[in-house]
Amino acid sequence: MTLIDQINREITLSKTPKRIISLVPSQTELLVDLGLEEFLVGITKFCVHPVHIKKTITIVGGTKNIKADRIKELKPDIILCNKEENTKEIVEACEKIAPTHVSDIFTLSDAKELIQQYGELFSCRTEANRIIQKLNFKLNEFQEFVKDKPTKKVAYFIWRNPWMVAGNNNFINHLLLLNNFENIYSNKNRYPEIELKKIRIEGDPDLVLLSSEPYPFKEEHAFEIGRFTHHAKTIFVDGEMFSWYGSRLLKAFDYFKQLHNRI
C-alpha cells in the first residue's frame, strides 16, 4: 500500500500496520474511536483521552521531546505525527525507526481527509466513514444554528508571559470563523506574541477567549487583560474543542452551541 500523507510525503507499507505509535493527543483519541486501541503500543504523556489510556499504553515522551530508544524497543509498524505538534527533527528521527505519517490540519476538510487516510491505512474504512458522516451532520446542524448569530470580534489567548494569541493560518482560526467570530489578530500569522496595551488598537474585541490549553489561565489573568479592553466579555473556553481535530469534533459543535448560549 502506498499513500501520500498531508505534507506530500510518500509512505509505502507492505501490510496493514498492527503496532502503532501516536505522538499527537487528538490523533490518539481518533485511533481509539476508530476501534484501534488494541494496536496502540506507544503514546505521549499528553494523550489524555480516553482517560484510562495512559495507564495501559507505554509513554514515549511528549509531543516535542520523544524517547527514541523507547520507540525503537516497541518495534512500531508506523508512527503518527503532526506538522504543528511535532518538530521536523522528531519526524526525521521517527523516519529512521519506522514508516512515519505526518498530518497537517488547517480546516475541517483537512480533518476529514486525515480520518479517511486512517481508514485506508488501518483497514477501518467503515468506522472512518461513520465518523465523517456524523461530523458532516453535526457541522450542518451547527451552521444552521449559527447563521443568524451576530458576528463578534474576538481575541483567542493561548499563552501568557509573553502574551500569545491565535492568529490566522491555523485550525483554531478556522473554527472561530465557523462560530461567526471575527479574530482581531487574523492579520497576524500563526500564534503571534502581542502587546496587551495595544489590544484596543488591534480591534477592541467584544469577547476575550482564554483557552484551557496550553496555558492554565486564571481569574487574575482575565482581570489583567480586561484592564486594556473597552467592554470585552472574558470567557474561559475548552481549548480541546477549538484545537483538537479528530473525533473530538463530534463533541465540539454541541459545545459551541452552549458557548453561544452563554454569550
User: What is the value of pTM for the model shown?
Assistant: 0.95
C-alpha cell at 170: 491555523
The pLDDT tens digits for 136-145 are 999 999 999 9
Picking from 78, 105, 138, the residue at the C-terminal end of a domain is: 138
Contacts of residue 115, defined as CB under 8 A and 6 or more positions apart, other chains included, come to: 30, 34, 128, 131, 132, 135, 246, 247
The answer to whether residue 40 sits within a structural domain is yes
Domain extent, residue 12, equals 2-138
**How remote is the C-alpha of 32 from its chain's centroid?**
16
Geometric angle at alpha carbon 59, from 6 and 92, rounded to 5°: 40
Share the mean pLDDT of the chain: 97
How many domains does the chain fold into?
A: 2
Distance CA 68, CA 137 (A): 40
Confidence band (pLDDT; 50, 70, 90) for 29? very high
Based on the fold, state whether residues 163 and 258 are members of the same structural domain. Answer: yes
Say which CATH number the domain at 27 has.
Answer: 3.40.50.1980
Based on the fold, state whether residues 111 and 153 are members of the same structural domain. Answer: no
Confidence band (pLDDT; 50, 70, 90) for 146? very high
Based on the fold, state whether residues 192 and 257 are members of the same structural domain. Answer: yes
